Amino acid sequence: MWPTLTSLSMTVWLLIAVGLLAAGTLAYILLVLLPRLRHGREGERKVQHLLDGIKNNANIPFHDLLLPTAGGHTTQIDHLLISTKGIFVIETKSHYGTIQGNGQSRYWRQTAATYKHDFYNPLMQNASHVRHLRNLLRQLPAQWFIPIVVFTDAESLNISSRGDGTALLLSDLSAELKRYPRIIERKHLSDIAATVRKANIRNPLARVKHVIHAQRTARQSKNK
């Protein structure tokens, strides 16, 4: 009789542990991830509105892409503009206040009044998106890919040296897109867009898993 009770109590405790873990994960999603995603999404909508405003047969925008990587994971691209002027890979950041950083440093700093917050260099973050996208579109020349980081709510940027790509305010994005010369023939754009569209992962569960994995990776990286 005793082994049966022991086995039963172990099962109960295991179920309780699983339940607590599930509850903790759900609480983390509701209290931490969703507010962050909601705030970030507001910034992304501003960039989306701008890019959709120039949409035509020479400018094909995509938003919130989730693409598979060679390592079996996923990479999330906020905005992609497939244009005759290049393939613009755009990372959106909704940090407010003043943004300070070095193009080559691992972390940048957000300062607003007495609030200070360090965050991972978005140029480096976006460079990884470009690498994964180039792996998907490996037949295309490297110079066609143009990484841009857009701060939608920041008041000013103080970037001491240029990194892999360009960081700018939302108010400067239109001028930045216009300054590039035409390098891609219009006839190629639809084929590039079709490849991206086919690779895009729309499964909601896969998207939630990607966000959780990205947040966990970011915490682990910062604790090193």
CA dist list (Å): 114 to 96, 111, 213 = 13, 7, 31
Residue 206: per-residue pLDDT = 79
Instruction: Give strand ranges (E) for the chain.
Output: 59-68, 74-83, 86-101, 107-112, 115-120, 145-159, 166-169
> What residues have CB less than 8 Å from 211, skipping those under 6 apart?
33, 37
SS3 134: helix
Tell me the average pLDDT of the chain. 85
pTM over 0.75: yes
The alpha carbon of residue 128 and the mean position of all alpha carbons in its chain are separated, in whole angstroms, by 10
| pLDDT tens digits for range 179-221 | 999 999 999 999 999 999 999 999 888 777 877 766 666 555 5
Joined together, the tokens standing for residue 1 give: 């009789």
Which region, left, alpha or beta, applies to residue 82 given φ > 0 means left and ψ of -120 to 50 means alpha?
beta
Task: Please state the domain count of the chain.
Answer: 1
- pLDDT value at residue 193: 98
pLDDT tens-digit readout, 155-183: 999 998 888 899 999 999 999 999 999 99
Give pLDDT < 50 ranges for the chain.
1-5, 28, 32-33
Domain region containing 66? 3-223
